[in-house]
Amino acid sequence: MKACVLLIVLLCPSLVYALDAYTGLVATRGLQMTETRSTNRQSNSRSPHVARTALTSIQVVFPGWYINGSLNETAPGAAITIKASVEYPAGTFTQLLFSGVTSGTVPNGGYLVSDALTVSIADGETFWVRSFLESTSLLIAISGLTIATGQQYEEAVSGLTDKSMGGTIAANSRVYAPVAIIGTTTQPSFAFMGDSITFGVGDGSAGFDMGPYARALGGTYAYTKIARTGDTITKFVAGHTNRAAIAAYASHWVYGYGSNDLFVSSRTAAQVMSDLATAVGYASGKPVYTSTITPRTQSPDGWQTVVNQSQSNATAEAERITLNGSLRSSSAFTKVFEEADTLESGRDSGWWLPAPSSQYYTTDGIHPTSNGYALMQTAVLLAAAVLADVARPVTAQEPTVGAGVLSSKAGRVGTAQVGVGDGDLTSTAGPVQ
């Protein structure tokens, strides 16, 4: 009987689990900006997204902050002027409005939510968000994406043609993208917050959905990936205002932190567990998930064997084993995914699972390859395990959508963590941390 139920959930999750209607994520590939552009002041971007429910009305959330090299939520120095559109189907453009006009202002250190746009995009269809940015200070973007996933980007000091409503933009590993695409939904949605493994560094074959969580969920559910290389749970707890506000649109939260805390910041297992437990509280009762931590080793033979591996940091490795034990027995999380077991030669061995060079699971002893991420994906196989834990959020009241026309409801701006209980955002003044 359990096998039959599992099969039904995997094949037809929407028939088994549905939430009360709420304002939440409705498409994939919301992204966290992680860098500034120091010279140029104008950019054109085209970011791809996939609808994960039938879309009739959407709002697009544009970030005006980034995570800097010190892992802090940081304002770029000035507000950003934006013009944007939704492109669907390819070559057809519908302009986004901001308080009823074509040009919006993304606040310095905050975010801007567009007016509601009436659309008709089927579940599973790819669409694009185009944007033209101008700034008197720094532009923000994210790089390190696989060019084959289809994002496009260009920038200039001045004189750049506005291509938000059409025109050719070159493929690029860099893009300025929405941090969230939202609408009224009854489907689960996910916020992935974490480090380079959460982002999917080394996952070159995954297409849109890089990293273990996006791999496991992105083919079915909407998500935003709020991740940065090098990030730690310690820094997230210290300053998370905008990230938690965006994650409030998700019905489920996933934390992918801990490795850098142990191996870079020399934190103890107890300290990491304490910070993770604190971060659980930011979700205000929504399901929160995390994963066991994979090892870090060195290898002269490309991790084809166990015997030739050596520890990168024996002290941190001991703390990793302690942390994973604490995570496995913890009741703080809705579920802990066994990513470590999928990539270690044995539980708590401290060694990467060996593989022939043509199928290796890591090339640096830290990040998985696409083959490694594929194994991690199986540990996160969320369809049955996650959805069985769905909490029913409070029915949301926004956005208000007109039938067959662009809504006149004004877009919103904000900088603070609000509304984490019902998935909605309202604007509140406050400093960026």
Integer Cα distance of 16 and 402 in angstroms? 30
Domain ranges within the chain, ordered by starting residue: 19-185, 188-391
- What was the pLDDT predicted at 15? 39
DSSP state of 171: B
Rounded to the nearest 10 degrees, how much is the dihedral formed by the CA atoms of 342, 343, 349, 353? 120
- What was the pLDDT predicted at 400? 32
Q: Are 9 and 203 in contact (CB under 8 A)?
A: no
Q: Are 63 and 106 in contact (CB under 8 A)?
A: yes
Rounded to the nearest 10 degrees, how much is the dihedral formed by the CA atoms of 184, 190, 193, 197? -140
User: Encoding tokens for residue 195?
Assistant: 């480090």
Contacts of 398 (CB under 8 A, 6+ apart): 23, 409, 424
Integer Cα distance of 361 and 328 in angstroms? 23
116 burial level (CB within 10 Å; 0-12, 13-18, 19+): buried
Residues 296, 289, 173, 110: is their CA dihedral positive or negative?
negative
Q: Are 54 and 123 in contact (CB under 8 A)?
A: yes
pLDDT tens, residue by residue, 331-355 = 999 999 999 999 999 999 999 999 9
* SS3 of 371-427: HHHHHHHHHCCHHHHHHCCCCCCCCCCCCCCCCCCCCCCCCEEECCCCCCCCCCCCC
If residue 135 lies in a helix (H) or strand (E), which one and from where to where? strand 126-135
Q: Are 392 and 229 in contact (CB under 8 A)?
A: no
CATH number for the region 188-391 comes to: 3.40.50.1110
User: Encoding tokens for residue 276?
Assistant: 């993770």
What is the maximum span of the chain, computed from C-alpha positions, in angstroms?
A: 65
- What was the pLDDT predicted at 10? 41
- What was the pLDDT predicted at 148? 80
SS3 assignment, position 178: coil
User: Encoding tokens for residue 361?
Assistant: 């699971």
- In the chain, which stretches have pLDDT less than 50? 1-16, 383-384, 391-412, 415-433
- What was the pLDDT predicted at 120? 98
